[in-house]
Each structure stands twice: as C-alpha cells, then as structure tokens.
C-alpha cells in the first residue's frame, strides 16, 4: 500500500480499490498528480492524491476520508514539502448530522501544541472546521507522528460511531464538496489543468465519493 497514512486505514479495515481512470495520473502547470480511491469498510470513501513539482522540490500528499454510513466528520490530511519547509494540515470538517465526542483527537492536538502553528488564509469553509483541526510546521518526524496519532484517534471513533442513513449523510458531504467546486482554490487549479467537467467528476466521484 502506498503511503504510510493510507496504511492506517488498511490496518483498520478493508480498502477496496476503485478504477480511477482517467485520473490515475494527470499533469499540468509543472505538476504531476497521481490518484488512488477506495471504499473503506463499506462506510467511507478514502482517496489518496500525490503531487510532485519542480523536479521533486515540491511534494504534497493528500488523504481524504468521507464517511457515508457512519456519522463521523470528513477528515482531510495534507503533508507539503517545499524547498525544505514542511507543513502538515489535518482538518476535521463538520459534515455531522449529530455532534460527536472528539476529545481523543483534541488530546492529540494538545500533545503537540509546542509545534508551531501556520496561519491559513480565511476561507468560506473555516466555519466547518472542528476543534481538532491543526496546521503546523516543523520537523518532519514529529509532524508525521502527530498525523499518525490524529488519524488513529479518528479511526478509533468509528467503532462507536452512529450508523446514519446514506442519503442524509451524503447530503451533508455534498454541501461541503459543492462549496469546494464553487469556490475552492484546489478545484480552480485542477479545472485549469483537466477542464471543469472532468474536475467535477474527479472531486465528486473519486476524491469525496458523493456521486
């Protein structure tokens, strides 16, 4: 399995690979992307996207978990390495139908509070970010440890998570995803590379599994 953070999902259940053609590899504007998309435990869409640019001087790994039959937050992980500077983002988004106790994830955040926070630009989805969300810079080994512990705490919550009607949950997920399509910097970038219609398919079907 590619990517240690994706391995956390395979160790905690079954990942069933999706056919991501024609998005397995796509390039533009000096960047090359590679995509994997999975169904995880018949309860979530898990996608893993890598980007390489500037002869490998810039790298980004993205992992997204979009639950559809468990009432859990949508989770997004990004690890970015650029010119020797490393940034980690682990974002939990409120796509919940009912509140969930995220204290175990908050405990991980508290454990790594000494790592420097990185300010982020204001965006429409800031109001959806739940308290465990972090954006940090620092030593790659500690950032990786933070990510591993945060994702593990998140996955542990699935054992007691409420079952949810897929239609109701997908409506919550879709509201977030359609917001990204309407006003999201990553969507705008990708649409310039592969076209708007293809980018919509990529986001809805493979990155988030809402269609």
Tens digit of each residue's pLDDT (9 = 90 or more) over 123-177: 999 999 999 999 999 999 999 999 999 999 999 999 999 999 999 999 999 999 9
Closest CA to 70 of 170, 185, 199, 158: 158
Name the pTM for this structure.
0.95
Rounded-to-integer distance, Cα 59 and Cα 31, Å: 9
Domain 4-207: give its CATH code: 3.40.1500.20
Domain boundaries, the chain: 4-207
Task: Return the sign of the alpha-carbon dihedral for residues 147, 14, 99, 77.
Answer: positive
pLDDT digits 0-9 by tens, 66-125: 999 999 999 999 999 998 899 999 999 999 999 999 999 999 999 999 999 999 999 999
pLDDT grade for 2, boundaries at 50, 70 and 90: very low
């Amino acid at each position: 399995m590619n990517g240690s953070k994706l391995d956390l999902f395979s160790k905690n259940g079954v990942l069933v690979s999706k056919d991501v053609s024609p998005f397995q590899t796509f390039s533009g504007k000096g960047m090359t992307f590679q995509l994997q998309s999975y169904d995880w435990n018949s309860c979530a869409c898990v996608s893993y996207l890598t980007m390489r640019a500037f002869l490998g001087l810039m790298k980004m790994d993205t992992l997204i978990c979009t639950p559809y039959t468990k009432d859990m937050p949508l989770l997004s992980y990004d690890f970015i390495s650029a010119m020797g500077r490393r940034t980690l983002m682990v974002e939990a988004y409120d796509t919940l139908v009912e509140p969930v106790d995220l204290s175990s994830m908050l405990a991980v955040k508290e454990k790594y509070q000494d790592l420097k926070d990185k300010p982020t630009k204001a965006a429409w989805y800031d109001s959806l970010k739940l308290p465990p969300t972090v954006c940090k810079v620092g030593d790659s080994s500690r950032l990786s440890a933070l990510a591993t512990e945060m994702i593990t705490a998140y996955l542990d919550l699935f054992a007691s998570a409420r079952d949810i009607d897929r239609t109701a949950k997908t409506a919550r997920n879709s509201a977030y995803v359609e917001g990204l399509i309407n006003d999201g910097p990553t969507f705008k970038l990708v649409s310039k590379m592969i076209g708007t219609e293809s980018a919509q398919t990529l986001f809805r079907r493979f990155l988030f599994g809402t269609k």
